[in-house]
Amino acid sequence: MKQDDEELQTFLRTVIAPIGDLKLRRDLWPDMRRNLNSRIAPVPWFDYALAALLGCSVFFFPETILYLLYHL
């Protein structure tokens, strides 16, 4: 059992290259903020359709409010 672990460790040391310098050369946070601020998630058309359907159902059938509150 111990011999198998040692063989596995030596195998992994030979297969996986050692990691060199772990220190970052520059700060990555400004690029991350720029990426986060530049992306705007588009809202699909069926989300608007579902919201309109919900609004119409509440308008025409007010008792559906109770069903919606029950399921929330």
How many structural domains compose the chain? Answer: 1
Q: How confident is the model at residue 47 (pLDDT cuts 50, 70, 90)?
A: very high
Q: Which domain holds residue 61?
A: 44-72
52 found inside a domain = yes
Average pLDDT over residues 58-71: 89
Residue 64, in any domain of the structure: yes
| Residue 59 placed within a domain | yes
Question: pLDDT tens digits, residue range 1-36?
Answer: 677 888 898 888 888 877 777 777 788 889 888 888
11 inside domain = no
Does pLDDT of 70 surpass 80? yes
- One DSSP character per residue, 27-63 reads --HHHHHHHHHH--PPPPHHHHHHHHHHHHHHHH-TT
